[in-house]
Amino acid sequence: MSRMKKRVQRQKRKRADANDTSAADVSTQDIEEHQGQLIERGLDENLHIICVPPPDLDWNREFQVIEQTIIQKGGEMSHLKRALPTRSPAEIVQGVPFWYKNLINAPGYALYVYKPTECNNWVHLLCAMWTPDVMFADSVTMKPVEGVGSLPLSRYESRCSICDEVKGYILSPMSHCKFEHPRHGSLGFLPRKRAASHRGKVKSFPKDDAKKPVHLTAFMGYKAGMTHIVRELDRPGSKYHKREIVEATTIIETPPMVVVGVVGYVETPRGLRSLTTVWAEHLSDEVKRRFYKNWYRSKKKAFTKYAKKHSENNGQSIARELERIRKYCTVVRVLAHTQLRNTSLKQKKAHLMEIQVNGGSVAEKVDFAHGLFEKTVDVNSLFTQDENVDVIGVTKGKGYEGVTARWGTKKLPRKTHKGLRKVACIGAWHPANVMFTVARSGQDGYHHRTELNKKIYRIGNGADKASASTEFDTTQKAITPMGGFPHYGVVKNDFIMIKGSCPGVKKRVLTIRKSHQIHTSRRDLEKVTLKFIDTSSKFGHGNYQTAAEREAFEGPKKPPVVYY
C-alpha cells in the first residue's frame, strides 16, 4: 500500500474518532479523477492539492460569497487573481471554491495533500493574500511561486500563524535560510575612498544653548601613541566592581592653539552661509604657510595688506565687519591654528580650523572671539577629566586591498579555482550590473571617521616630570615612555589621555570635539582614579618605568662622564 493511501486511511480514522462530519469520505478513485480535472482546468499539477466538491455546489453563488468577503476585508479581486495559479478569468471562477474552501465553511468538502515538503508554518490563503511578505515554494522544484505549495497531511488541522485560527486552508510558506548569514561590512560608510583632507573635519558642532556661558567646542592635537593604565572600577553590579582593571589608553599631544580670526554665518534655506571673516593683525609664519603651496619660493606677502586695516582710521573697517556679524549672523566660529614648532614633529605648516563658539548671545560670542585674537587657548580650558569627547580623524591607510581584508568576507575552500580570497558570486545575470552592495576590492584605510564617547582619563603637561605619577604610584615619571613614543618622540606640551584607541597613525592630526550627547549613565559619569600609568619602553618588552629604576637594578652601563 502506498504512503499516500496509508495517510488517507489514517486521516479517515482520525476524523471518525473525533465525530467530524464536516468532511465527506473520499475514495482513491475520486481523488485520481479529480486530480485529472484540476490538471485539465489549468491548475499547476506540481501543487498536488486534491479537493472533492459536493455535487450540488453553485459555482456562481460561491464566487459571489468570496467576492463579498474580500471586499469586506478591504481587498480587491486582483489580489485573488495573483494568488491563484490559473490561466484565465474563467478558470478563476471555477478554481476559487477549491482554494477558498474552509474560510466560507461550506460542508461536504474533503481536502487531501500528498508529496509533502518540510515547513515551519502554515497560513490561510486569504491571510497570505493580505500579507504581502508571505511567499510560497513549489513542492517539486522548490522554487518560489505566486500561489500555494503543499503541506504534510498531519498539519491539516493546525493553527494559522497569522490569524491564529485553528481550522483553515493549509498552505506552506517559502522556506528560509537555516543558518545566520549577516552581510559583511557596513554600507553606511560608502564610498570607501581616500579622505579628501588629511585633517579630520567637524561635520556638525554641538547644539548651541544661549543659557550656558560662552565657550569653544573643539580642539586639535597630535596622536603620540598608546599605553595602558591600572585603575579601580567603580561600577556597582559588575563582577569587577572595586577590583583593579587594566585598560588601553591613547596619548594626544595638544599644544596651545592660537586664535587668528572670526567667521560669521547666516542661516539660509540652503543651510549656513558665511557672511564675512575678520582676521587678526599679526599672523605667524607657520599659519601663513597654510596659504602657500611653496613657501620658500614665495614672496611671503600674505595678509600684509589686510593687516593695514587694523591701523587705518583706527580700525573702523574691522569694527564695521564685526558689527555686521553681531547684526546678521546666528553662528559664530573662530579661526584657530596649532603650534607645530612646540612639538617634536618636523612639519612647519600649522593646521587651521574653524571652532564654533557656543553659549550666550551673538554679541557675546563676537566679543569673546575678538578678545581671543592672537592669544593662546589651552586644552584644559575646553575639556575636563572624566568628560566624554568625540575624536575625528583619518584612519591608517592600507592601500589597495582585496575583499577578505576590506570587507571581511569568508574565505572560499582550499581547492577553489583561481583563488579563494574572493566573493564567489557577485550578482545575478540580470540586472546585468554589479550592485553597489556587493563586496569588491579597492581602497582600504585613510577614511574619514568620527569615534564617539572617548572618556578623558587625564589632562596634563608633558614637561611635568610627574605627569604620569599617581596617588598610588608616587614615582617621579613623565608621560613619555622610556625611549620616547615610537615614531613620535617626546611629549613636550599639554596632553590628554583618552580611553581606548582613536583613528589614525602616530603624528596624525586629530580633532577633539565636545560630545553631542547628554550623558546620564553611570558608566559615563564614573569618576576615574588612576592607580598606575605604564611608562615602560613601547619599542620591545619594556620592564622598567624610569631610567633610574633600570640603573638601580642593572647598574650603570657606562662610566659617568667627567668634565674637567
pLDDT digits (tens, 9 = 90+) for 475-519: 999 999 999 999 999 999 999 999 999 999 999 999 999 999 999
Neighbours of 434 (CB within 10 A): 11
The grid cell for 163 is 490569524
Q: What is the mean pLDDT of residues 284-301?
A: 95
Place of cell 570635539: 513
- 362-371 and 316-328 helices cross at what angle (nearest 10)? 150
Q: Which pTM was predicted?
A: 0.69
Quote the CA–CA distance of 390 and 73 in Å, as a whole number: 53
Quote the CA–CA distance of 485 and 54 in Å, as a whole number: 90
> Do 145 and 232 share a domain, yes or no?
no
> Do 248 and 317 share a domain, yes or no?
no
Model confidence at 328: pLDDT above 80: yes
Does 492 reside within a domain? yes
Half-sphere exposure of 333 (CA within 13 A, CB side): 25
Which of 457 and 81 is assigned the larger pLDDT?
A: 457
pLDDT tens, 384-440? 999 999 999 999 999 999 999 999 999 999 999 999 999 999 999 999 999 999 999
Identify the pLDDT of residue 29.
Answer: 55
Domain boundary among 121, 155, 189: 155
Q: What is the CA radius of gyration of the chain?
A: 38
> Do 148 and 16 share a domain, yes or no?
yes
> Do 240 and 122 share a domain, yes or no?
no
How far is residue 494 from each of residues 95, 220, 514, 538, measured CA to CA in Å?
82, 12, 18, 21
By three-state DSSP, how is residue 516 classified? coil
DSSP class of residue 19? T
Confidence of residue 543 (pLDDT cuts 50, 70, 90): confident
pLDDT tens, 259-290? 999 999 999 999 999 999 999 999 999 999 99
CB 392 within 8 A of CB 202: yes
How far is residue 117 from each of residues 9, 141, 150, 240, measured CA to CA in Å?
20, 11, 7, 52
Peptide bond into 431 cis (omega under 30): yes
CATH of the domain at 545: 2.40.30.10
> Do 61 and 129 share a domain, yes or no?
yes
Percent of the chain with pLDDT over 90: 63
> Do 270 and 233 share a domain, yes or no?
no
How far is residue 257 from each of residues 169, 432, 467, 498, measured CA to CA in Å?
75, 54, 21, 19
Quote the CA–CA distance of 557 and 185 in Å, as a whole number: 52
> Do 244 and 296 share a domain, yes or no?
no
How many domains does one find in the chain?
3
Identify the pLDDT of residue 386.
Answer: 94
Domain boundary among 102, 120, 155: 155
Which residues sit opposite 104 in a β-bridge? none
Quote the CA–CA distance of 275 and 321 in Å, as a whole number: 9
Identify the pLDDT of residue 53.
Answer: 41
Does 480 reside within a domain? yes
> Do 28 and 142 share a domain, yes or no?
yes
Domain boundary among 343, 377, 411: 377
Quote the CA–CA distance of 535 and 229 in Å, as a whole number: 10
Domain, as residue range, for 364 = 257-377
Identify the pLDDT of residue 472.
Answer: 94
Confidence of residue 6 (pLDDT cuts 50, 70, 90): confident
Does 521 reside within a domain? yes
